Amino acid sequence: MEQQFTLTSEVRNDCLILVTSGYVNNVGGEQIAQEFSRHFEAGTRKVVVNLAQSKVVNSIGMSFLIDIVDQLNDAGGKLVFTDLDPAVEKMLTIMGLFQFAGKEKSVDDALASLA
Amino acid sequence: MKDAITLKMSLPKIPDIELVAIEGLDRLARHLGIASDKIGEANILITEAIINALEHSGGEHPEVKVEFTMTKQDLVILVRDFGKGFDPSTVADPAERKKAGGGKNNRGWGLKLMKTMSDDFSISSGDDGTRITIKKILS
């Protein structure tokens, strides 16, 4: 079970696409937040987070994503999650993330919803 | 409990030690022929219980005792720390705190997640530490 956290990012159609792999804990959450901040300060307001390769997450790591959703919501932006494991999706639902963030099956679907 | 298997471990307070428990659970599940998609929520429950316990454990050598008892039907998780304990009734619901405009603190979801995602949850806490018992139906 490979759980080493890695994060990759790209910008497509003015959207920041963040792709995680491995365990999203406090360290992983902070890395996501730092990468987001770099793009947010440059004006990016649409974000896609692909969690396909993160089957294990914790609430501290996810709290960084709540912070990001709050910031985007305040700035008129939006975040969409994709490729969620059912258990992670349930966790994010309990944490209220889908009140302001979206969810789609794939990155392409997310990009279409943000267009 | 018929055909139950038990795994006990003592976890020191080092980064990501909860992944050892997750690995142990995965091996128990495979031994019993339980598909990995059946234990996704159990993985989250274990992770939250252990990081919560490690956060509250105290002393010079903080550690957490973890015990899984698993059958094909269900999993019972026992997590115990030896910290100062706390009053669970005073822990604010993070969703309610946020609704009430409780600042920018988005942490403190562990207890809420364990209560909501489990099929049975109990917690007792005192001067000698905190004991959490969680039941998760797998079939």
AA identity, residue B91 = V
Among the partner-chain residues A1, A27, A94, the one whose CB lies closest to the CB of B23 is A1
For residue A54, the model assigns a pLDDT of 94
List the beta strands (DSSP E) in A3-101: 6-12, 15-21, 46-53, 78-82
Among the partner-chain residues A3, A85, A94, the one whose CB lies closest to the CB of B117 is A94
**Averaged pLDDT, A54-82:** 95
Q: How far is B39 from chain A (nearest CA, A)?
A: 9
- The chain A residues in contact with chain B (CB within 8 A) are 1, 3, 23, 25, 27, 55-60, 62-64, 66-67, 70, 85-88, 90-91, 94-96
**Averaged pLDDT, A79-86:** 96
Interhelix angle A59-74/A26-41, nearest 10 degrees = 20
Residue B60 has a CB neighbour count (10 Å cut-off) of 4
Burial of A13 (0-12, 13-18, 19+ CB in 10 A): exposed
Instruction: Kindly list the residues from chain B whose CB atom is less than 8 angstroms away from the CB atom of residue A58.
Output: 18, 44, 47-48, 51
Cβ–Cβ of B40/A60 closer than 8 Å? no
The answer, yes or no, to whether residue A104 has pLDDT greater than 90, is: yes
Residue A98 has a CB neighbour count (10 Å cut-off) of 13
Q: How far is A58 from chain B (nearest CA, A)?
A: 7
What is the pLDDT confidence band of residue A13, given thresholds at 50, 70 and 90?
A: confident
ipTM of the complex, rounded to two decimals:
0.91
Topology (CATH level 3) of domain B5-137:
Heat Shock Protein 90 (3.30.565)
By C-alpha distance, the chain A residue nearest B16 is: A25
User: What is the residue-averaged pLDDT of chain A?
Assistant: 95
For residue B38, the model assigns a pLDDT of 85
For residue B36, the model assigns a pLDDT of 81
Q: Which DSSP state fits B65?
A: E
For residue B37, the model assigns a pLDDT of 80
Q: Which two tokens stand for residue A85?
A: 């494991």
The H or E element that residue B4 is part of is none
In DSSP terms, which residues pair with A6 in a beta bridge?
Answer: A21
Q: How far is A89 from chain B (nearest CA, A)?
A: 10
AA identity, residue B63 = E
Give percent of chain A above pLDDT 70.
98
For residue B103, the model assigns a pLDDT of 60
Cβ–Cβ of B19/A55 closer than 8 Å? no
Burial of A44 (0-12, 13-18, 19+ CB in 10 A): middle
**Nearest CA among A12, A10, A54, A5 for reference residue A30:** A5
For chains A and B, CB pairs below 8 A equal 67
Among the partner-chain residues A1, A59, A85, the one whose CB lies closest to the CB of B26 is A1
Rounded to an integer, what distance in angstroms lies between the CA atom of residue A81 and that of residue A25? 17
Instruction: Kindly list the residues from chain A whose CB atom is less than 8 angstroms away from the CB atom of residue B48.
Output: 58-59
Instruction: Kindly list the residues from chain A whose CB atom is less than 8 angstroms away from the CB atom of residue B112.
Output: 94
pLDDT mean for each 10 residues of chain B (139 residues): 87 94 94 89 96 81 92 96 86 76 75 96 92 94
For residue A25, the model assigns a pLDDT of 95
